[in-house]
Amino acid sequence: MKASCRAGSNIAFIKYWGVADAALLIPLNNSISMTLADAHTTTTVAWDSSGILPTDTIVIDGTQLQGAPAQRIVAHLDRLRALAGVSHKARVLSKSNFPMASGIASSASGFAALTVAACAALGCPWDASQLSAIARQASGSASRSLFGGFVEWERGSSHTSSVAHQMRAENHWALRDVIAIVSARAKRVSSSSGHRLAATSPFTTARTLCVADWLATVRHAIAERNLSLLGPILELDALAMHGVMMTSAPSLLYWQPGTVAVLHAARAWREQDGLPVFFTIDAGPNVHLICEAETAPTIEKRLRALPAVRQVITSRPGPGPQLLDEHLF
């Protein structure tokens, strides 16, 4: 009745932003991501079959959750209880090795690890695709963290068809995500609230129409390991998503001054110094610089020299969720 799992966060090359079905979390468009080896969440779940535990208890990064943040996790445990036909309460302990709620997808790695650990502890026989659909209901991007390497989440049209699959394994392409943390403060508007606002932007339809072409290019670029094909689409889709966010009602401006400093720096390094590096930005202020392994040390060094950058985390492509023999409690 107890299991532990480590799951990587992921960085989307084509973003998920906006929902076609807010209840099921069916997205407006397919998305493509790289699962991260070095930005991960470890979660232990213990189901209480004795019936002594009166409520779920959830501790994340040392803090016992109360109220709305706890409720989102309890709602996911409720889903799992309903699927497994049990009523046990659970003890959940989780920790990430990166700052939460600041543009690195802690909900992706967190809900992937929770889903896998909770199901393993219940002895459920579900495969990765089924687990991807279950995780999606808690956090859309978590559906992608159910797989390692390079992953596409098919929009689909129903609960069971809106799932991710692996395009290529993590050893296919030695890309690096060099993450410039410019602010570790929690976001004022969570991604899950923001998704519902996408429909209010005048740009959502245009972005959704373009994404079909961009997806085809990104699939091709990944297959061919072609960064100069991938990179411009990476930047364009990130800017398009932030254009949607800024023009939604209310307007979401996730960028901070340091965000813009890193964007200009990255473009200058590429255009003036010839370094093959491209940026993307999730729903937060931090900037992810995507480059090949050989370029990463130079990018890290240059980022650390920027006053706006507080921390640099570099990640390789990582595996899918791993069950662990050691538990957090």
User: Which residues form the interface with a second copy (CB under 8 A)?
Assistant: 202-203, 205-207, 209-210, 235-236, 239-240, 242-244, 246-247, 249, 251, 253, 255-261, 263-264, 267, 308
Q: Quote the least distance from Cβ 187 to a second copy, whole Å.
A: 13
Query: Considering all CA atoms of the chain, what is the largest pairwise distance in Å, rounded to the nearest integer?
Result: 65
Task: Quote the tokens at residue 317.
Answer: 């492509």
Q: Which C-beta is closer to a second copy: that of 141 or that of 259?
A: 259
- Euclidean distance between CA atoms 139 and 137, whole angstroms: 6
The C-alpha torsion from 22 through 25 and 29 to 30, rounded to 10°, is 180
- Euclidean distance between CA atoms 290 and 45, whole angstroms: 34
Q: Which C-beta is closer to a second copy: that of 243 or that of 319?
A: 243
Q: Quote the least distance from Cβ 119 to a second copy, whole Å.
A: 40
Q: Which C-beta is closer to a second copy: that of 185 or that of 196?
A: 185
Q: Quote the least distance from Cβ 81 to a second copy, whole Å.
A: 40
134 and 113 in contact (C-beta within 8 Å)? no
Q: Which C-beta is closer to a second copy: that of 118 or that of 263?
A: 263
- Euclidean distance between CA atoms 117 and 44, whole angstroms: 6
- Euclidean distance between CA atoms 23 and 58, whole angstroms: 24
